[in-house]
Amino acid sequence: MTNSVNSRYIENLYNDGATKPIDDDVSTYEIQLPSWYDEAKFKRGQQFYQDNRPGIVTAALCGLISVLAIPSILEILIFTRRSSSPMTAYKRYVLTILHTTNWYDEELKPGSKSWKSLEYVRRIHAASGKQANKQNSKMLVSQKDVAITQFGFVGFVALSYQMLGIRYDEAGMEGFVHFWRTIGYMLGLEDRFNICTEDLTSSKQRMTLVLEQILRPALQTVSTEFVQMTNAMIDGLWCVNTFLDYNAFMFLTRRLAGVPGHYYWKDEPTNDGSTQPAYEKMGWHSRYILCMVLYINEMLLYVPIIRCLAGEARSLPVDDASKMAIPEWYDEVKFKRAQRFYKRNAFAITLAAFYGLIAVMAVPSVLNVLMFTKKSSTPVTAYRRYLLTILHFTIWYRDDLAPGTRFWRSLMYTRKAHDSASKRASAATEGMIISQRDMVLVQFSFAGFVVLKPEMLGIQGTDRDMDDFIHFWRVVGFMLGIQDEYNLCTADSATSKSRIQLVQDQMMRPALNSPSDDYYRMTKVMLDGMWYYNVTLDYEALLFFTSRLTGVSGYGFLEHERKDQLKVTGPVTYEKLSWYSRFIVGRLVQLHEEGLKSALVRWLVNLQLQFAVLVGICYLPLLAAIKFGWKNAVVKMPK
């Protein structure tokens, strides 16, 4: 009975739906929520998008490509002339991205950004259909066309989630389908044509029918106009994502749609053994893009830390210290060995954290919260903030971890401060929070360079020392609210190092490749304030050294580094530094990579650091007192 009902859906879509316009007169209606709207389900759908953003975005792009294969939709798009060239296609589809992002991010209520966006899109559809119908009575934006376009956004997500790196959960998918049922209704779809229904099973049945009877046949034999319009879309959006390639994404779309011959792995259903895979006819660049997209979607997006970076943990805020407890996997012996490892390498590990803080500020979500709090936006506030940070992690490395200790109180203070800042930021700007992802990135700033670049920092230790150090930061990360699935540091050193490497390669290095003006301003303020604690700090030198540690192209110092990078980037950044900054860079490299190999040098600089922390911060900050006044210059741990 259910199958026959859904079969009639296609008949109705092609008969009544193909001749019924989405709106007869845009001036006579006001959009409204459907009577069946479920706010909780709708928000679950939004959360499902946040948790699976990369896969859903890829699905939508492939969905839009597939929709262009439908002649009635393509005719309207050609008629409007708003996506026939790369430039017009760029504007049209970037606007589409902005609209859908609005729907996914904003609350759906009258007067909201989401509501206004839906009103705008519905009026544009109605106006385009009306204009086209005047020129050709057979052209209109019909119920059928909007239902098929709706498939473009939801269909591949529901039917092919495994191929897109989307983590399936029943409630989340139900919410996502309800989300698009609501959006479809508010864009003018009648319930009888809406591809999304009141339940997930019948919705998938409708989607399967649309795919098998409409989209797959259309994608098997495409028109010249389709090729031209799809090329214009891909060429235009290439400015947004340089990984876009016509041949690669046509293959991905046909593969998702189940077009015969478009398989990549031998055991796929579309491999009937009668044909060679279509990708073998593609050029090397298209095959490379295809391979990378499949690798990301079908492998990397199932790795928790990658999901964290890609978006799943962006919407998960930190919490307060009410749940703080020592984890059940805590190993006191390893933890204390890590503290002793720090004491032997205190100077180098402290500087590594300093470089890490400079690096993490290049990530917009972290920087936005820092700017919002206004606690490090001037030299004096930056001086106090970052010296307090030094005091906190010095206590973590030196004190016992137990309830009531300075260590415990410091962690509670830090976690509560993060929670408070996150809530205030969210109240001021929707979506601005201190998220699990942000905490992972900050965790990298303290541990990442130590694990990845010990030789470049002059850190001396064994594999066991590094394993202990990773355990230390696994514990601290947990107690600061990082969930185990996102924690950079795991029970296994190799896995931890792999996660840390991914964060550096996928987040830190790209962020430092093209930092914002706000980044330069905030790091300049930070180092201007810290100069009154350490007069050897030089802004250009420290940014250079941080970029060199992160592996940013063009930031070589040693002769072999500069020769290798010259082949790719032209004149290296080092040559552009002032003589003084070059001098400081040279001394840093010399100290880290040569001087700290000596046990005597390490003992001297570690002793100097201990004196600077105990005396220079808490009791006799002379330069800072002259500049900022005694009250601002003395920094002590909150009680």
pLDDT of residue 564: 57
Tell the burial category of 138 from Cβ atoms under 10 Å away from its Cβ (0-12, 13-18, 19+): exposed
- Let me know: does 13 contact 150? Beta carbons within 8 Å: no
Distance between CA atoms of 253 and 53, rounded to whole angstroms? 18
DSSP string, 262-313: --SSTTSTT--SSS--GGGGS-HHHHHHHHHHHHHHHTGGGSHHHHHHHTGG
Measured CA distances, 202 to 186, 199, 209, 368 (Å): 20, 6, 11, 43
Residue 49, CA atoms < 13 Å, CB-side half-sphere: 24
Low-confidence residues of the chain: pLDDT under 50? 1-2, 568, 570-571
At 5 the pLDDT is 59
Q: Rounded to the nearest 10 degrees, how much is the dihedral formed by the CA atoms of 394, 399, 401, 405?
A: -100
* Tens digits of residue pLDDT in 177-204: 999 999 999 998 999 999 999 999 999 9
Q: Is 398 exposed, middle or buried (0-12, 13-18, 19+ CB in 10 A)?
A: middle
In angstroms, the Cα distances linking 584 to 369, 544, 573 are 31, 10, 15
CA distance 494 to 501: 10
CB of 474 within 8 A of CB of 466? no
Q: Is 225 exposed, middle or buried (0-12, 13-18, 19+ CB in 10 A)?
A: middle
- Alpha helix positions (H), 214-279: 216-220, 224-237, 246-257
Query: Which candidate, 300, 1, 8, 332, places its Cα nearest to that of 167?
Result: 300
The set of residues, in sequence order, having a beta carbon less than 8 Å from that of 225 and lying 6+ positions away, is: 74, 78
pLDDT tens by residue, 79-137:
888 888 999 999 999 899 989 988 998 889 998 999 999 999 888 887 777 777 777 66
Q: What is the pLDDT of residue 135?
A: 75
